[in-house]
Each structure stands twice: as structure tokens, then as C-alpha cells.
Amino acid sequence: MAGGMMKLVECVPNFSEGKDLWKIDEITAAIKNSPGVSLLGVEASGDYNRVVVTFAGGPQEVREAAFRSIARATELIDMSLHEGHHPRIGAADVCPFVPISGVSMAECVELAEALGRDVGNKLGVPVYLYGEAASGRWPERESLSEVRRGEYEGLAERLKEPEWRPDYGPSEYGDGIRRTGALAIGARKLLIAFNVGLNTSDVAQANKIAKRLRESGFVAEKDGKRVRVLGRLKKVQAMGVPVEGGGTEVSMNLMDYEVTPIHVAFEAVRHEAEERGIDVVGSEIVGLVTKEPLLMAGRFYVYVYAREGSDVELIEAAARGLKLVKFDVKSKVIEYAVGLDG
């Protein structure tokens, strides 16, 4: 860095493989061996059958590493054989760019467009731009859940719809797309993937909690008509899923932590669970997170633990209040992981 703030972009690609460690190692090696980037996290789930990879670096270096990992994933993963609980449309399922420091959202949109062109033209994979990369052009594609609607199994039919023609890459379904599926590439604000574990094996109960909380809510019968009842939490996506060991969890995407902070989401799940006689047994942040949402939670929980102090101490208070598992400050918080703090 020469005068000014370091240019730092986070990239969080999700790949549809959570069980075969050799394939996961091959995909992440493409990132590790790319110059100018730091591999910050690799979190695989056998239940979801996906791996969430987090890395960061300079804008162009991140784009090149993303392309290399996507290319390797499309070589190794056959979507026609894939099964898993998490929504997905492709071997390399989603690839967002997130501005962290010294980089604007507009620059991340440019990265998404450039990567989309390369993936579509060089790898023959249909690419949909989403989030800020679709803003103003395809409003219906701003939401990742809309891009994923119908999932991989519905891709052949969706490609026939003129309004769902890919931004880049082929639009006619064939053997290549049958194997690779499609890919959503976008630019967005920090998203927090946050799972709250419950001490029940009843997935229907976990789903009821998710439906009550997520912004889109649920459809109910009222006066003989089907009406949508909106959920309690704005900018939140949620679903109930089973996990290994017989439990369940409410799996959430917090799309804007300034609208719904992480501690607000956690306490809402706890409240809904308690009303059903269910206990929260822990929570997990999937991937990495920046300091601020944890500091916000720490300021909330500090009154519970009657402790004030440094940023690290506030983050530790947040971890206790949120019952976080598999959480280490130096590896889970982006600023510490890349050496910007501490």
C-alpha cells in the first residue's frame, strides 16, 4: 500500500461439494496457489453438501483466484449426481465480491461482470449476475433466492424462458450444463451466514420458526383466501434444516446487519423456540465476518456479562451471548485474519 487505504476485496464462493475432501482440497488449492490473495476459511457441510470458501486480496488478484477455483470445481463436480439440503444451481454455485476497504461497490460490480464474461466464454457455464451487479438492469435478479428458484433440477426449463436468459455463457441446455449447472456471480454488502442450533429433531418446528422470522414470511389461509404473512426480521432469509446427530437448526442469511443485527436475529430465534418448548443449543457463523456486527452484539451482551473493554473483549462477550461454536477471533474476523488489526 502506497499512500491511502489498502484495497481489499472479500470473495465468498460456495461450491456444491461438502463430503469429498480431495475435491475440496483441489478447489481450494487453486486459490492458495494464486498470488496476492489470502485463503481465510474453508467450511464444508456434509448435510448441505457444499463448501463455503472465504478469501481476500487485491481486486484483480481476487478475480483471478475466483476464476481458477471455479474452473477446477466445474472439472471435478458433476451436478447430475449431487444431493444436499442447501439450495444450489451449479457446481460453483455462487460467487460474490464484497468491498472491505479502499474499494467501492461499483468496483466490485466491475469485478463480477469481468468474471462473468470469463466464466461464460472460457468455461461454457451459464452465468447470472445478482445483487448489486444486477441492480438497475435485472431487478428480479437482485435476490439470490430468485436466481436459485427451481434450483439445479429446474435449470433446463428456466433456460427456455426469455426473461431468464443468462447474462453470460450458453443458454441452451446440454451435456455440459447438465454437469456444471449455472453460476450466480454478484457484488453485495457483507452477508452473515448464521445458523442457530435447536435441541429438537423436528424439522417442521425449525421451519415454523424460520417462516415466522424471515422477511418473506409464509402463506396462510385467511377468510378462504391465501395471503402472505410477512416475517419479523427485515433483510433476513431463513429455513429449517436437519443436522448430523439428530438435531435441527434455523439457517439464516442476514443480508444487512445494520437492518437486522446478528444478536437481534439470535434473540428472535431463541424467543420463538422457547414459545415451543425448544432450547437453543448454540450458533455458528459460516465463513468470516467483519468486526462491526460483533461489536454491536458485544455492546448488547456486555450488560449481561457486566464487562467493558477492548474490541477483542467485546467480541468475546458477543461470542458468549450468541453461544457461538467453532469461533476463533483471529481466524473468523476478517480484519484480524488479514492483519489489519492487532
CATH topology of 8-187 equal to that of 192-337?
no
The H or E element spanning position 212 is: helix 203-213
pLDDT, one tens digit for every residue, the chain (342 residues): 334 568 999 999 999 999 999 999 999 999 999 999 999 999 998 888 999 999 999 999 999 999 999 999 999 999 999 998 889 999 999 999 999 889 999 999 999 999 999 999 999 999 999 999 998 788 889 989 899 999 999 999 999 999 999 999 999 999 999 999 999 999 999 999 999 999 999 999 999 999 999 999 998 888 788 889 999 999 999 999 999 888 999 999 999 999 999 999 999 999 999 999 999 999 999 888 989 999 999 999 987 655 567 888 899 999 999 999 989 998 899 888 887 665
Query: What pLDDT score was predicted for residue 324?
Result: 97
* CATH topology assigned to domain 192-337: Alpha-Beta Plaits (3.30.70)
176 grid coordinates: 455440459
Q: Which residues are catalytic?
A: 86
15 grid coordinates: 461450491
Amino acid at 114: A
Q: How many helices (H) and strands (E) does the chain have?
A: 12, 13
C-alpha closest to that of 285 among 318, 243, 312, 258:
318
Query: What pLDDT score was predicted for residue 287?
Result: 83
pLDDT, one tens digit per residue, over 180-192 is 999 999 999 999 9
Spatial separation of the C-alpha atoms in residues 128 and 173, rounded to whole Å: 15
Query: What pLDDT score was predicted for residue 317?
Result: 92
DSSP per residue, 115-182 = HHHHHHHHH---EEEEETTTTTT-GGGSSHHHHTTTTGGGHHHHTTSGGG--SBS--S--HHHHHHB-
State the pTM of this model. Answer: 0.78
Query: What pLDDT score was predicted for residue 5?
Result: 65
CA atoms within 13 A on the CB side of 195: 20
* CATH topology assigned to domain 8-187: Formiminotransferase-cyclodeaminase; Chain B, domain 1 (3.30.990)
> Where do the structural domains in the chain lie, given as residue ranges?
8-187, 192-337
DSSP structural state of residue 28: H
Spatial separation of the C-alpha atoms in residues 189 and 324, rounded to whole Å: 23
Q: Are 247 and 253 in contact (CB under 8 A)?
A: no
Query: What pLDDT score was predicted for residue 244?
Result: 83
Query: What pLDDT score was predicted for residue 308?
Result: 61
Query: What pLDDT score was predicted for residue 305?
Result: 54
C-alpha closest to that of 341 among 3, 4, 6:
6
Query: What pLDDT score was predicted for residue 302?
Result: 85
